[in-house]
Structure 1
Amino acid sequence: MELTTPTKLEFYDQMLKLQSKAILVHYFKGDDGRKALILDNTIFHPQGGGQPSDTGFICVTDSNLRFCVQDVRSKDGVVFHYGVAEDSSMENELEQGKGKEVILQVDESRRRLNSRLHSAGHLLDVCMRNVGFGHLEPGKGYHFPDGPFVEYKGTVPLNELQNKQREIEIEVNALISKGGKVS
């Protein structure tokens, strides 16, 4: 399937926006058997940057149809909302729904958790520099709830490790208590 129009990403400008409207562009079953909706715009954050995707619901306006969004991915600027219709007998409505208005609802608790875990990775980067680890380069970040981490490239002498761990903890707590923006 070739789609040339990228999905407008509302979540970059309005991270706390959890409900929105969009137009259904396409509904299909992928090669992997999963069903997906493509919309003209979205507030659903796709998986990426070491962060899991949003979940939630997409409802067709003036209908009882609810599509449970279980996974969101982006490819070549197009966002794919994977999931299932709550009532599978209504899937035909999705197949015929191109051009219809839909209402998007993001799961707030999951969005906030994902956001906090992602921000914690940025906070750790600042603290690493502040305690003298500026020579270490952040590599892979994993901001999933089952065990978030950031890997760094470089070396630290073993005799410094324990003291630096405590310094990082103190620095993290100091920056959190100050408040401010994390970028």
Structure 2
Amino acid sequence: MELGLMDKNPTKLEHFDDMWRLESTATLLSHLKGDDGRHVLTLDRTIFYPQGGGQPADTGFVLIHGFDNNKFLVSDVRSKDGIVFHYGFFENLGGEFEPTLEKGKEVSLFVDQPRRKLNSRLHSAGHLLDICLPRIGLGNLEPSKAYHFPDGPWVEYKGTISQNEMQSKQKDLELEANALISMGGKVSVDILPYDEAAKLCGGCLPDYVPKESTPRIVRIRDNPGCPCGGTHVADISDIKQIKVSQIRSKKGLTKVYYYVES
């Protein structure tokens, strides 16, 4: 499958504007089959989150209007050069019939709600830990990268702490995070001009954000925001509870392992 032959138009990411929308419609732009047997669809717009930023992809299905065997099961979603690729299989075809879908067909999209909800809770919990670190005396740690997958989420920071701090701060961090969760607070998302975005993020943005761009900024309550393209809860109380399972610090990096409890 040569992705370069597919439609060049960027896919509109509808979760940018509405992170809690789980159903929508779109127009089919291209359909191909890959060497691994999976089919891939590109659309003019999508509510499916493509894997990235430490957050796993959404799954779900797409209904192809006017196609009898019309349920396309989405098993993975990826983005390249602004185009979102929906990978999966057609339900009940059994490999005996290979459909060819024409550009311009209308489709309906349905995101798996439990998966989206869990991923959003894990992602939001990672941001909340960023906010809590200065509150417990670890403001020297600078966010580096994160892994918000259910099989073992963690957030990594530039900077180290002592062995004694690792043991004492683990409990402090968990208590602080859960205290904020119990209070609740709106999670807001805004797409802003660079200078306005920088003000909401404490006066500056990471170097990877182009100065001519309009970053998408996520904020928890009135805390400083951060540029992020992922999905999040509507209110931090929806995280329910965080468990900080371990803190490791070595070679100039500190990693906080956590999970969310129902």
Deviation digits for residues 105-162 of structure 1, max 9, x if unmatched? Answer: 0000100011000001001111112112111112221111111111122110222222
Secondary structure of the residue aligned to 2:151 is: coil
Corresponding residue to 1:54 among 29, 53, 58: 58
In structure 2, the partner of 1:137 is 142
* Gap runs ≥5 in structure 2: 188-218, 220-262
1:31 Cα deviation from its structure 2 partner: 4.6
Q: Which runs of 4+ in 1 moved over 4 A?
A: none
- 2: CA distance, partners of 1:111 / 1:85: 22
Aligned to 1:174: 179
Instruction: Report what 1:9 is aligned to.
Output: 13
TM, length-normalised to structure 2: 0.66
Q: Kindly indicate which of the two structures has a greater share of residues assigned to helix.
A: 1
Q: Deviations over 1:2-31 (max 9, x none)?
A: 432100110111111111000010001235
User: Displacement, 1:44?
Assistant: 0.3
Could you say if the C-alpha distance between residues 32 and 134 of structure 1 is closer, same or farther in structure 2, counting changes exceeding 3 Å?
farther
- Corresponding residue pairs, total: 181
Residue type matched to 2:159 in 1? G
Answering whether residue 84 of structure 2 is matched by residue 79 of structure 1, we say yes
* 1:28 aligns to 2:32 (yes or no): yes
| Distance (Å, rounded) in 1 between the aligned partners of 2:126 and 2:89 | 32
Gap regions ≥5 residues in structure 1 = none
1:114 to 119, 125, 149: 119
Does the 8 A contact of 1:85 with 1:91 survive in 2?
no
2:108 is paired with a residue whose SS is strand
Give RMSD over aligned pairs: 1.5
Deviation at 1:62, TM superposition (A): 3.4
Q: Normalized against structure 1, the TM-score is what?
A: 0.93
Moved more, 134-143 or 157-166: 157-166
Kept after mapping to 2: 8 A contact 1:139/1:153:
yes
Q: Offset of 1:163 from its aligned partner? A: 1.7
Q: Name the residue aligned to 2:166.
A: 161
